[in-house]
C-alpha cells in the first residue's frame, strides 16, 4: 500500500513537470478501465444508439454507419444489421492492446478533422460524447458533413457547460446545433448530469436539467447538396 502511494505521488509530480499529451491522457484512462473491468464490455451500446435517440435497431438495417470518436469498446458490434460499421478514432492503433481486433467492426485511425473517406460515404454518422474532445470543432463539423450522404442521419450527444480541459478542449453550449448549418434538426432532448458524472446513466434515469453541465442529444438530417 505504501509503495502504491509513493508511486502515485511520484507519477503526479512527473506529470506536473512533463504534462502528458491528450492522447496519453486518453490511453491512461482506458488502461485504468481495463484494470477495473478486465475485458472492456459493450453490451450497453445498443441502447445508447437506439433508445437514447428514440430509434429501433431496424433503423440501422442496410445502412453504412460511421461512429466518430468510437473508443476501444466495440461501439458498433451490436449493429449486425448494418451494411457497414466503421469506428473512427485517432488512437485506434493504441487501442489494439485492449483487444479491438476481436470486434465485428472496422476501425480507422484518423482525427475527426481529417477523415480518410470519400464524400457521401455514410448513411448514418454518430458522434457521442466526442465533439468536446476534438482539437478543431469547425473542421470536425465540416468533415462529418462532407462524408455524410444526402439525407443521412447524424446522431450527436454532447455535454454542455463544462469548462475546457486538456482532454476536452471544447467548451460547448446548448446552441451547438446552430453550427450544423447543412443539417436539419429533427429531434432533441436535454438532461442534467448525475453527481458521479455517469452520462449514459443520467439519460437512462432521465435526470432533469436545472443548472450547470447538461446533456444534449439530437437527431439531424443532411440537407441535399
Classify burial at 215, counting beta carbons within 10 Å of its beta carbon; exposed 0-12, middle 13-18, buried 19 or more.
buried
Q: Please, which contacts does 104-109 make with residues 24 or more away whose CB atoms are closer than 8 Å?
A: 104/74, 104/77, 104/80, 105/74, 105/75, 105/76, 105/77, 105/79, 107/70
Q: What is the pLDDT of residues 16-35, one digit of tens each?
A: 333 557 889 889 988 999 99
Q: What is the pTM of this model?
A: 0.89
| 71: pLDDT strictly greater than 60 | yes
Exposure string (b/e) for 190-201, b if CB count within 10 Å is 16 or more?
Answer: ebbbbeeeebbe
Please compute the mean of the pLDDT values over residues 201-223 and round it to a whole number. Answer: 96
Quick one: which of 75, 84, 87, 81 has its CA closest to 59? Answer: 81
Give residue 87's pLDDT band: very low, low, confident or very high (50, 70, 90): very high
Rounded CA gap, 153 and 124, in Å? 5
Q: Detail the DSSP E strand segments found in the chain.
A: 64-68, 84-89, 106-109, 122-128, 148-160, 183-192, 214-222
What local confidence, expressed as pLDDT, does residue 20 receive?
56
Domains and CATH numbers, the chain: 42-222 (3.40.50.150)
Amino acid at each position: 500500500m505504501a509503495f502504491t502511494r509513493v508511486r502515485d505521488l511520484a507519477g503526479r509530480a512527473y506529470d506536473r513537470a512533463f504534462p502528458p499529451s491528450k492522447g496519453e491522457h486518453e490511453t491512461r484512462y482506458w488502461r485504468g478501465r481495463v484494470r477495473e473491468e478486465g475485458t472492456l464490455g459493450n453490451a450497453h451500446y445498443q441502447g445508447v444508439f437506439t433508445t437514447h435517440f428514440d430509434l429501433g435497431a431496424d433503423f440501422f438495417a442496410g445502412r453504412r454507419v460511421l461512429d466518430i470518436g468510437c473508443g476501444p469498446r466495440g461501439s458498433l458490434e451490436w449493429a449486425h444489421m448494418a451494411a457497414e460499421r466503421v469506428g473512427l478514432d485517432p488512437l485506434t492503433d493504441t487501442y489494439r492492446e485492449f483487444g479491438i481486433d476481436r470486434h465485428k467492426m472496422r476501425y480507422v485511425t484518423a482525427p475527426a478533422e481529417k477523415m480518410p473517406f470519400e464524400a457521401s460515404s455514410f448513411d448514418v454518422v454518430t458522434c457521442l460524447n466526442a465533439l468536446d474532445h476534438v482539437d478543431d470543432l469547425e473542421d470536425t463539423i465540416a468533415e462529418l458533413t462532407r462524408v455524410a450522404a444526402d439525407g443521412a442521419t447524424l446522431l450527436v450527444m454532447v455535454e454542455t457547460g463544462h469548462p475546457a480541459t486538456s482532454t476536452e478542449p471544447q467548451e460547448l453550449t446548448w446552441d451547438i446545433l446552430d453550427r450544423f448549418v447543412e443539417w436539419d434538426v429533427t429531434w432533441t432532448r436535454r438532461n442534467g448530469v448525475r453527481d458521479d458524472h455517469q452520462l449514459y446513466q443520467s439519460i437512462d434515469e432521465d435526470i432533469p436539467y436545472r443548472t450547470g453541465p447538461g446533456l444534449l442529444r439530437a437527431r439531424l438530417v443532411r440537407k441535399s447538396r
